[in-house]
Structure formats: structure tokens, C-alpha cells
């Protein structure tokens, strides 16, 4: 989910919460924070490995396990 998609979802929920509360004046921050707490931002996806970086080392045990038994 992009930052824009996340903000759109938070904004929509904040507006609904505000409407459900009777549209009170000067409480927009309250509803934004409440909505933001209900729709946490998903963690960032890890960046792909660069081809120039070495591959992770294999476990020394991996070489000792016969094929088909691991």
C-alpha cells in the first residue's frame, strides 16, 4: 500500500468517525489520530538485493545433510 493509499484510507475513516460523532467543530486532529491508530501503516517491503552484493552464506550444516533428507 502506498503512502497515498494509506492516507486516503485514514482520511475516509476520520471523516466517518467525525460524522458519527455529530460533526463537532475543532476536533479534526482527534479523529485523524483515532483513524490512524485503527489503520496502521504496513511495514515497508525490503529493498531487492543489488547484484553486486554477495549472496548470504549458507549454513555449514546444509552441506552435511544428504539430498532428500533435509
CB crowding 21-52: b at 16 or more within 10 Å, else e = eeeeeeeeeebbebbbeebeeeeeeeeeeeee
Residue 54: what pLDDT?
63
Q: Along the chain (70 residues), what's the average pLDDT of each consecutive run of 10 residues? A: 87 95 94 92 68 62 56
Residue 35: what pLDDT?
95
Residue 4: what pLDDT?
86
pTM of the complete model beyond 0.75: no
Q: Which helix (H) or strand (E) holds 37?
A: helix 28-38
d(CA 26, CA 4): 24
Residue 2: what pLDDT?
82
Grid cell digits, residue 28:
479534526
Amino acid at each position: 500500500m502506498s503512502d497515498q493509499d494509506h492516507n486516503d484510507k485514514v482520511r475516509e475513516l476520520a471523516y466517518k468517525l467525525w460524522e458519527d460523532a455529530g460533526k463537532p467543530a475543532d476536533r479534526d486532529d482527534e479523529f485523524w489520530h483515532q483513524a490512524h491508530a485503527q489503520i496502521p501503516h504496513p511495514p515497508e517491503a525490503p529493498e531487492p538485493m543489488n547484484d553486486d552484493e554477495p549472496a548470504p552464506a549458507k549454513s555449514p550444516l546444509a552441506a552435511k545433510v544428504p539430498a532428500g533428507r533435509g
